[in-house]
């Protein structure tokens, strides 16, 4: 909410600045020693002229008056030191970080990645893999050994050995083989990952799968987990998202062939009954072994290709029409009958763009965009590196860094340059301090590989930070936008102190303001009246109620006559009513006494008018909202008068008049 208010405030007053003042651009306004040029003021005016109204002297002068007030408030905030407070600096830094993000991406790479992702989203892939683990910072020798092992297994698979059996025996993905865990037996998947689509896998694996033709085996694909061999089993048009109903018939454990045949036959019989018109939901309720969905007619939550077993996805994908039922099929779980209830196609690129952008920022493929940005920054600022000077770091880093206990030695000289960005050099000591600050507990690795990996990260971080530091000088629009937020935050904080919060907290001031202006908050003519409502049109009860009212007994006594602990026949409400507050009040004569009966939707109403109230001021609590708002306006006007007395300002009337 605060960010929105700041944006609204600044929209009213801030201009897009330019670093270069054009020739013949005279000063149009001076505020507390600050000069504002004619072009700068026009930029302000035109930016806020959202209705495109024609320029005229009257509107220019009115806007000039508002702009002077704005500049005076910002000047006051600066003189009070609000721009030096830590809270202000932190808040502005947070907004600046958000504003800088669009400048710290590579637009071309991002667009390419988004289109690539959409094109991949149009297909679902079923693949199997063999994983040979190797740490991302492993030594060259260990990395080469893992690669050779992957290539050896690939050759064996290409010569005809069963890929699934190779996965079960050699893959470091434990799900590939049969295993016992927590007292249960798990059947291995033989490397079969089922169906998946874009963003379901790490980016290198996804790319390896999508770039491998159906039925073929990829070259070893490197990810942070190690090397993958990927065999693409199937490639089909995207399922999108679907909702289905299903009937599951489980095959008993240790079932004989005859037992399995009986379950299969039951599935076929149920399918035929459905095809012949029997209700799917009822049959699911009566027969499905999936008890969590049986009582819902077998309806499953919406899902995509990566959420179900391959047999299920393949069957659902073959259904062409809504409400169509696929023939029975079997899986590890038993026999299935599936009915397609609804489907959401993936849609156009434009339909997906927002979701793709969100997924992209969370995906490891965002590194490609960062790499493109880093390469551009390197070229722009003539990045240079001195790899030989890294040797000194390798000598002083020990295995304690993997226990987060390493310290930069105090007696080692580390003043040589590791790399340079623009005019800034980064020394060995800078990097050593970075290593110490960013160490964490982890398994031991090859020291040189670890240090090189951290250096690469440090270089990339430094390049982006350097570019970030240059944004104001490179992009005048960005500089102006940051200034908008700066001035907006200052204006918000000071206005809150002087006007908004003060009006709420200053009860004495508010009461004094009310006393001076209470005749501005008048009630019109009102009725002091009581409405009696009977929840029946029974004539006998209506007559009893009228008599009770006329006797003058209290409303509490009347309620006791008509209501019991278990029934409420009568309700009573007494208020001071203005015209328009209540339709029944508006429908009667505004005079004292008991009104005729009013029938309304099976109820009887009677209105007793106690008296007609003359216009009078509202009490403070009766109009606190509008009175507080007016008090805020009053405080702001008085504050502006004070600022105009405190600070000098001068409008160059001849320059203002020259604007056509």
| Residue 11 pLDDT greater than 60, yes or no | no
pLDDT at 428: 97
Which percentage of the chain shows pLDDT scores above 70?
A: 96
Q: Please report which helix (H) or strand (E) contains residue 241, including its range.
A: strand 241-250
CB 246 within 8 A of CB 333: no
Number of domains in the chain: 5
pTM over 0.75: no
Q: What are phi and psi of 248, to 5 degrees?
A: -110, 130
Tokens of 98: 């958000």
Tell me whether residue 643 is in a domain. Answer: no
Residue 328 falls inside a structural domain: yes
Q: Which residues 6+ apart lie within 8 Å of 88 measured at CB?
A: 82, 489, 490, 493
What angle separates helix 280-287 from helix 257-275, to the nearest 10 degrees?
160
Q: What is the mean pLDDT of residues 531-551?
A: 93
Same domain, 493 and 455: no
For residues 96 and 6, membership in a common domain is answered with yes
User: Is 365 a member of any domain?
Assistant: no
- Domain shared by 199 and 130, yes or no: yes
Question: Are residues 404 and 437 in contact, defined by beta-carbon separation less than 8 angstroms?
Answer: no
Same domain, 320 and 397: no
Burial class (CB in 10 A: 0-12, 13-18, 19+), 323: exposed
**pLDDT exceeds cutoff 70 at 1:** no
Q: In this structure, is residue 409 part of a structural domain?
A: yes
94 shares its domain with 176: no
Q: Report, as an integer, the average pLDDT of 283-301.
A: 95
pLDDT of 7 reads 53
Could you give the CA distance from residue 507 to residue 503 in angstroms, rounded to a whole number?
A: 8
pLDDT attached to residue 45: 82
Distance of CA 409 to the CA centre of its chain: 45
CATH number, residue 26: 1.10.4030
Last residue of a domain, one of 185, 219, 237: 237
The band of 535, judged by pLDDT with boundaries at 50, 70 and 90, is very high
Q: Pick the last residue of a domain from 210, 237, 264.
A: 237
Q: Is residue 110 in some structural domain?
A: no
Tokens of 242: 């679907």
Residue 529 lies in a domain: yes
* Mean pLDDT, rounded, for 439-449: 92
- Relative orientation angle of helices 366-380 and 349-362, to the nearest 10 degrees: 80
pLDDT in tens, 572-607: 999 999 999 999 999 999 999 999 999 988 899 999
Residue/partner pairs of 547-550 with CB below 8 Å, 24 or more apart: 549/594, 549/606, 549/608, 550/594
Q: Quick check: 261 and 348 in contact, CB under 8 A?
A: no
- Token pair in block for residue 133: 């683990």
Structure tokens at 298: 């077998």
Helices 163-170 and 140-158 pack at an angle, to 10 degrees, of 150
Range of the domain at 331: 241-345
Q: Are residues 129 and 219 in the same domain?
A: yes
Transcribe 122-184 into DSSP letters. Answer: TEEEEEEEEEEE--TT--HHHHHHHHHHHHHHHHHHHTT--HHHHHHHH-S-GGGS-EEETTE
What average pLDDT does range 227-250 have in this prediction?
Answer: 96
Same domain, residue pair 388 and 405: yes
Number of H helices, E strands in the chain: 26, 22
Residue 467 has pLDDT above 50, yes or no: yes
Pair 399, 462 in one domain:
yes
pLDDT band at residue 15 using 50, 70 and 90 as cut-offs: very low
CATH, residue 298? 3.10.50.40
One domain for residues 316 and 249: yes
For residue 519, is it within any domain?
no
The residue from 292, 326, 345 where one domain ends is 345
Residues 271 and 208 in one domain: no
Query: Which band of pLDDT confidence, cut at 50, 70 and 90, is reported for residue 6?
Result: low
Burial of 537 (0-12, 13-18, 19+ CB in 10 A): middle
Q: What is the pLDDT of residues 319-361, one digit of tens each?
A: 999 999 999 999 988 999 999 999 999 999 999 999 999 999 8
Evaluate whether residue 648 is within a structural domain.
Answer: no
Mean pLDDT, residues 88-117 taken together: 93
Residues 78, 127, single domain; the answer is no
d(CA 587, CA 606): 12
User: Given this model, what pLDDT does residue 10 score?
Assistant: 53
Whether residue 206 sits in one domain with residue 134: yes
């Amino acid at each position: 909410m605060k960010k929105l208010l700041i944006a609204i405030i600044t929209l009213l007053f801030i201009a897009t600045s330019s670093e270069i003042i054009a020739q013949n651009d005279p000063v149009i306004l001076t505020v507390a020693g600050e000069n504002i040029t004619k072009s700068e003021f026009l930029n302000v005016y035109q930016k806020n002229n959202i209705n495109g109204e024609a320029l005229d002297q009257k509107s220019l002068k009115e806007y000039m008056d508002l702009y002077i007030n704005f500049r005076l408030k910002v000047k006051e905030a600066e003189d009070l030191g609000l721009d030096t407070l830590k809270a202000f600096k932190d808040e502005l830094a947070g907004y600046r970080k958000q504003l800088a993000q669009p400048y710290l991406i590579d637009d071309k790479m991002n667009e390419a990645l988004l289109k690539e992702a959409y094109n991949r989203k149009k297909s679902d892939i079923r693949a199997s893999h063999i994983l040979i683990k190797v740490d991302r910072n492993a030594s060259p020798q260990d990395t080469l050994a893992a690669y050779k092992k992957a290539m050896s297994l690939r050759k064996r698979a290409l010569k005809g050995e069963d890929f699934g059996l190779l996965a079960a025996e050699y893959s470091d993905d434990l799900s590939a083989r049969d295993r016992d865990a927590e007292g249960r037996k798990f059947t291995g998947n033989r490397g079969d990952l089922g169906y998946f689509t874009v963003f379901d896998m790490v980016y290198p694996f996804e790319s390896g799968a999508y770039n491998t033709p159906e039925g073929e085996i990829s070259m070893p694909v490197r990810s942070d987990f190690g090397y993958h061999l990927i065999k693409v089993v199937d490639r089909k048009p995207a399922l999108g998202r679907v909702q289905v109903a299903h009937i599951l018939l489980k095959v008993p454990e240790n079932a004989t062939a005859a037992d399995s045949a009986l379950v299969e036959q039951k599935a076929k019989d149920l399918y035929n009954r459905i095809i012949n018109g029997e209700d799917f939901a009822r049959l699911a309720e009566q027969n499905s072994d999936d008890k969590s969905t049986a009582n819902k007619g077998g309806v499953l939550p919406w899902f995509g290709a990566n959420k179900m077993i391959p047999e299920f996805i393949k069957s659902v994908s073959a259904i062409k029409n809504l409400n169509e039922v696929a023939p029975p099929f079997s899986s590890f779980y038993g026999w299935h009958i599936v009915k397609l209830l609804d489907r959401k196609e993936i849609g156009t690129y434009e339909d997906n763009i927002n979701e793709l952008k969100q997924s992209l920022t969370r995906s490891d493929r965002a590194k490609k965009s960062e790499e493109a940005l880093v390469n551009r920054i390197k070229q722009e600022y003539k990045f240079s590196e001195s790899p030989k000077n890294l040797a000194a770091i390798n000598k002083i880093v020990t295995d304690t860094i993997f226990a987060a206990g390493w310290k930069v030695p105090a007696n080692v000289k580390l003043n040589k340059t590791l790399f340079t960005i623009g005019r800034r050099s980064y020394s060995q000591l800078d990097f050593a301090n970075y290593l110490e600050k960013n160490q964490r507990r982890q398994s031991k690795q090859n020291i040189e590989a670890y240090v090189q990996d951290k250096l690469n990260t440090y270089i990339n971080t430094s390049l982006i930070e350097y570019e970030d530091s240059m944004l104001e000088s490179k992009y005048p629009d960005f500089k102006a936008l940051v200034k908008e937020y700066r001035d907006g935050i200052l204006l918000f904080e000071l206005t809150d102190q002087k006007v908004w919060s003060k009006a709420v907290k200053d009860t004495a001031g508010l009461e004094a303001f009310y006393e001076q202006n209470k005749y501005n908050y008048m009630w019109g003519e009102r009725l002091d009246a009581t409405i009696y409502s009977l929840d029946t049109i029974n004539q006998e009860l209506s007559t009893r109620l009228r008599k009770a009212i006329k006797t003058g007994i209290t409303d509490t006594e009347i309620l006791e006559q008509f209501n019991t602990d278990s029934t409420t026949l009568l309700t009573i409400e007494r208020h001071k009513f203005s015209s328009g507050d209540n339709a029944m009040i508006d429908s009667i004569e505004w005079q004292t006494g008991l009104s005729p009966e009013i029938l309304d939707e099976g109820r009887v109403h009677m209105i007793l008018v106690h008296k007609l109230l003359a216009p009078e001021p509202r009490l403070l609590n009766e109009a606190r909202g509008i009175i507080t708002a007016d008090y805020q306006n009053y405080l702001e006007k008085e504050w502006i008068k004070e600022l105009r007395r405190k600070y000098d300002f001068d409008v160059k009337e001849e320059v203002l008049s020259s604007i056509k």
